[in-house]
A and B are shown apart, each in its own frame.
Chain A
Amino acid sequence: GIQVEQSPPDLILQEGANSTLRCNFSDSVNNLQWFHQNPWGQLINLFYIPSGTKQNGRLSATTVATERYSLLYISSSQTTDSGVYFCAVTTQGGSEKLVFGKGTKLTVNP
């Protein structure tokens, strides 16, 4: 099945810093979503981005489908950005299931 690799696995930042999280996938995808899992365990939708670029406030994401990767940019990080960021994909061919990466654990220190 498709492999989803996220890097880095852990990231520690000072408040105000910028960061880039990467998601590589091993096959063509229909759907790509970025999630933030907060300290209470909730999965928050950030982006639905199978291709192209989107921005939402301090967050933006870019997916280059032909090269099988996606990037999540966090600018001017805040302590509330801490948590685990997951990339998840569905493959072409009709499967509904989202296949998740192992996540990037982000810690933003004040």
Chain B
Amino acid sequence: EPEVTQTPSHQVTQMGQEVILHCVPISNHLYFYWYRQILGQKVEFLVSFYNNEISEKSEIFDDQFSVERPDGSNFTLKIRSTKLEDSAMYFCASRRRGGAGTDTQYFGPGTRLTVL
């Protein structure tokens, strides 16, 4: 069964550094998402992406965040200048077809980001 994959599984960085988290969505999926989960808390939506542009973003997704689909298979989340509070598990998800909310979002295994 096709899966969403994410790399790295764990990223440690110094405060103020840039990080890029990588995701490979399921190949025939059209909609892509990033979520995050601070340790012990619930999962929160960051951004959705369709047709090479952001379709929706949350208040968390401020100017320090950006997303890109550079080559038709990868989907990346960049954090320009990391803060301590960016430490979290970041999940990538993808969905197959159109019609808002009419199909399952499949989640990757996550990247645990630790900012020191």
Complex CA gap A78/B102 in Å reads 32
Q: Spot the interface stretch: A17-25, A55-63, A86-94.
A: A86-94
B91 close to A (CB within 8 Å)? yes
| A65 interfacial by beta-carbon distance below 8 Å | no
Per the CB 8 Å criterion, the residue count for chain B at the interface is 28
Q: Quick one: given A86-B43, A88-B43, A103-B42, are A95 and B104 in contact (CB under 8 Å)? A: no
Bound state CA distance, A31 and B45, in angstroms? 15
> A30-B101, A48-B103, A96-B101 given as contacts; is B42 within 8 A of A102 (CB)?
yes
Chain A residues with Cβ below 8 Å from B75 are none
Check B35 against A41 for contact (C-beta < 8 Å): no
A77 contacts partner chain B, Cβ-Cβ < 8 Å: no
A45–B4 Cα gap in the complex (Å)? 12
Q: B79 in the interface, Cβ–Cβ < 8 Å?
A: no
Complex: chain B residue closest to A99, CB-CB: B45
Complex formed: what's the CA distance from A29 to B100 in Å?
Answer: 11
A residues lining the B interface (CB < 8 Å): 29-31, 33, 35, 40-43, 45, 48, 50, 86, 88, 90-103
- Which 9 residue pairs spanning A and B have beta carbons closest together? A30-B101, A90-B101, A97-B45, A31-B101, A48-B104, A96-B48, A100-B43, A43-B107, A94-B100
